[in-house]
A and B are shown apart, each in its own frame.
Chain A
Amino acid sequence: MNLYAKKNKGFLNQVELKRTRYKLLYWSLFALAMFVCMLTLLPLLWMITSAFKSTEEFLQIPPTIIPRSFEIGKLGKVWEQSGILQAYTSTLILAGGSLVFHIGMCGIAGYVLAVMKPAGTKQILTILLWCLMIPGTNSLVPLFMTFIDFPILHVNLMNTYWPMWLLAAVNVFDVILFKNYFNTISGSLSEAAKLDGCNNLQVLMKIMLPLAIPLVITLSVFSLTNSFSSYFWPNLVLKDNWKKPIALKVMNMKAGLTTDEYMVALLYVSVPPIFFYLVFQKHITQSINIGGVKG
């Protein structure tokens, strides 16, 4: 109960909370909060328990909240049957390429705009801010046509990972994020390094990049998460079955599996991104605080 003493926010204050009436109100609000939390967690709980229940128990009415049977064999069955390993491998190729292009392109562009500042930086930044505002709803078909016949090089990018990789690279928001982040790093550091005889590349690799690690990790996690849930462009572009990433594959499996087996497949999609997030949670909150963007 002495937790009340910590209360320094909200419309109820400590003095009021000593009276029964307000205590009652407080605990009813608490009950409401718990109810909401239960509602949010219930579908996820259902997904996880259904994945491990036996099929008979899954079909049982009313549903059991705490599973009585524990069947780990279903995991292996779905893994084999739907070629999850293959899907993970292709997702990793997709994710790796996207990560390299995303961080590389955005990082370099942000570095150039924040530190090297070539002539015309201001104009370029204005263009980038305009890009952020413009909705891209009408560019779906022209983009598709671009990938069929890529300009200048005149190659057909269908059935390769290139479209997804290139689309990951043009992330205007993250360029601005990188630029703002590099701006917060004191300029005297890079000046000192230059006086000691570093060239621009060495300044980037030895001074700026190590200091920007939290942001790089955060954006890498977001990039990985995106790759694990990307299905739209892969669906349009990839034709070979073995190239399809996990999200698309699971989506196409709707017909072939029973509901409880499908929950296992959904677990296979959603566990890796959640895992990445939880592992790097500290870095992510840290860089959100520093960058002040991306909620």
Chain B
Amino acid sequence: MSKIKVKSLDAAKGVLIKDGNTGTYKGELFRCIKSTVKHSWSGWLLLIPFFFLMIFLLWKPLIMGIYWSFFEMKGYVVGEFCGLKNYITVMSDTAFLQTLGNCIKYVIWSLIIGYMIPVVLSIVFNELVHLNKFITFSIYFPSLVPGMAVALLWYYVFFPNMTGLLNQMLSIFNIAPKTWLQNSDWTIMLIVLTATWEGFGKTTLFYMANLQSINQELFEAAMLDGAGILHRVKYVTMPYLYPTMLLFFVNQCKGLFCMFEKPWVMTGGGPNGASMTLALKSYYYAFNDFRVGESLAVGVITFVILLTLTFVYKYIEKRNSYEL
């Protein structure tokens, strides 16, 4: 608020010099502030509740989360300053190191499964003229189901005994039931698969919107130059997708680092922490183990990673907008 007042003061000075007004400097200043206040007081008044909430629910927790991570926490009460102790405890916790490793596994698996599927499908769907509405509807439908219901549904699809859909299906081919989510080698892959099932429709539709903007003459020109289908896809279609693909890649990484719902519902981070993510670890530290200081430290580490990714995202977005 003080900044705003200073600005209006400057404006008042400007008016004084320009008009050479006869009134005293102080009186004119007072009048100028008065007119600003008269013009804006109702707007400010209406904004107060929103600002109040924004300060106490957005900014204060954020800043205090960083500040208190250097303090010893006793339950939910702030204790004494302890420097980097929380961070050192977290860093020397093998479970936390495993979590960091898991994050890399999540990224790799989602690159393999989740990343290329929407690209390929958008190119395929863009070709089709039959049943377009049905296709759009059926790929968008999973994202209408609440996220926790999706996670629970797939939890039962992957259920280890014969009530799970997947094991029932496999039994048709005489394959013995598998443990799916309880298998520590597969659990991350299956969670990524679930997340992909939920989200790929939206991403595909977004890519398809991009493809709509391709000028059809480009394909004709490429054909005249003797380009086969693969060449047309490679040199005409794909260049339209690269900028968006890069943005989605960064966005996906961001989503994976704070993935919470799917692992929490489906595995609870198990088996033996094989599917633990940073957000889930922070939650468990705070509300299961009551090691609140450590939870704050994990939160800050995640915060730093995500902020870096956000800046990368903004940088790419800016560069893209220059190119287009």
User: Which A residues form the contact surface with B (CB < 8 A)?
Assistant: 3-4, 6-13, 25-26, 29-30, 32-34, 36-37, 40-41, 43-44, 46-47, 58-59, 61-63, 105, 108-109, 111-112, 116-120, 123-124, 131, 133-146, 148, 150-151, 166-167, 169-170, 172, 175, 200, 225, 228-229, 231-232, 236, 247, 250-251, 254, 258-259, 262-263, 266, 269-270, 273-274, 277, 295
- Inter-subunit contact A137/B306 (CB<8 Å): yes
Cβ-defined partner of A229 (8 Å) among B41, B146, B211, B307? B146
- Taking CB atoms and an 8 Å cut-off, the chain B residues in 37-84 that contact chain A are 39-44, 46-47, 49-50, 53-54, 56-58, 60-62, 64-66, 68-69, 76
Instruction: Give 18 A-B contacts (CB < 8 Å), ordered by A residue.
Output: A3-B130, A11-B236, A46-B165, A59-B162, A61-B162, A109-B50, A119-B40, A134-B307, A137-B282, A137-B299, A137-B302, A138-B282, A144-B76, A170-B57, A247-B149, A258-B163, A274-B144, A277-B144
Further pairs besides A58-B163, A140-B295, A142-B68: 4, Cβ < 8 Å: A13-B219, A105-B53, A133-B314, A259-B163
Nearest-CB residue, chain A, relative to B260: A232
Chain A residue numbers with a CB within 8 Å of B233 are: 11
Min Cβ gap B123→A in Å is 8
- Inter-subunit contact A251/B302 (CB<8 Å): no
Chain B residue numbers with a CB within 8 Å of A37 are: 134-135, 138-139
Chain A residue numbers with a CB within 8 Å of B212 are: 9
- Inter-subunit contact A118/B39 (CB<8 Å): yes
Given contacts A119-B36, A263-B156, contact A148 B76 (CB under 8 A): yes
- Inter-subunit contact B142/A44 (CB<8 Å): yes
Cβ-defined partner of A141 (8 Å) among B36, B146, B296? B296
Which of B12-20, B88-96, B166-174, B179-187 is the contact stretch?
A: B166-174
Nearest-CB residue, chain A, relative to B202: A295
B270 contacts partner chain A, Cβ-Cβ < 8 Å: no
Given contacts A37-B139, A229-B147, contact A29 B124 (CB under 8 A): yes
Rounded to whole angstroms, the CA-CA distance of A241 and B146 in the bound complex is 21
B128 contacts partner chain A, Cβ-Cβ < 8 Å: yes
Chain B CB count within 10 A is highest, among A166, A258, A270, for A270
Min Cβ gap B135→A in Å is 6
Rounded to whole angstroms, the CA-CA distance of A172 and B42 in the bound complex is 21
Given contacts A169-B50, A170-B54, A229-B148, contact A33 B128 (CB under 8 A): yes
- Inter-subunit contact A109/B47 (CB<8 Å): yes
Chain A residue numbers with a CB within 8 Å of B126 are: 9-10
User: Which B residues form the contact surface with A (CB < 8 A)?
Assistant: 1, 3-4, 7-8, 36, 39-44, 46-47, 49-50, 53-54, 56-58, 60-62, 64-66, 68-69, 76, 121, 124-131, 134-135, 138-139, 141-142, 144-149, 152-154, 156-157, 159, 162-163, 165, 168-169, 171-172, 197, 201-202, 205-206, 211-212, 214, 216, 219-220, 223, 229, 232-233, 236-237, 254, 258, 260-261, 265, 278-279, 282-283, 286-287, 292, 295-296, 299-300, 302-303, 306-307, 310, 314
Chain B residue numbers with a CB within 8 Å of A169 are: 50, 53
Rounded to whole angstroms, the CA-CA distance of A43 and B36 in the bound complex is 61
Cβ-defined partner of A262 (8 Å) among B127, B156, B165, B201? B156
Chain A residue numbers with a CB within 8 Å of B50 are: 105, 108-109, 169-170, 175
Chain B residue numbers with a CB within 8 Å of A59 are: 162-163
Min Cβ gap A60→B in Å is 9
Min Cβ gap A107→B in Å is 10
Rounded to whole angstroms, the CA-CA distance of A144 and B1 in the bound complex is 29
Given contacts A9-B126, A145-B76, contact A120 B1 (CB under 8 A): yes
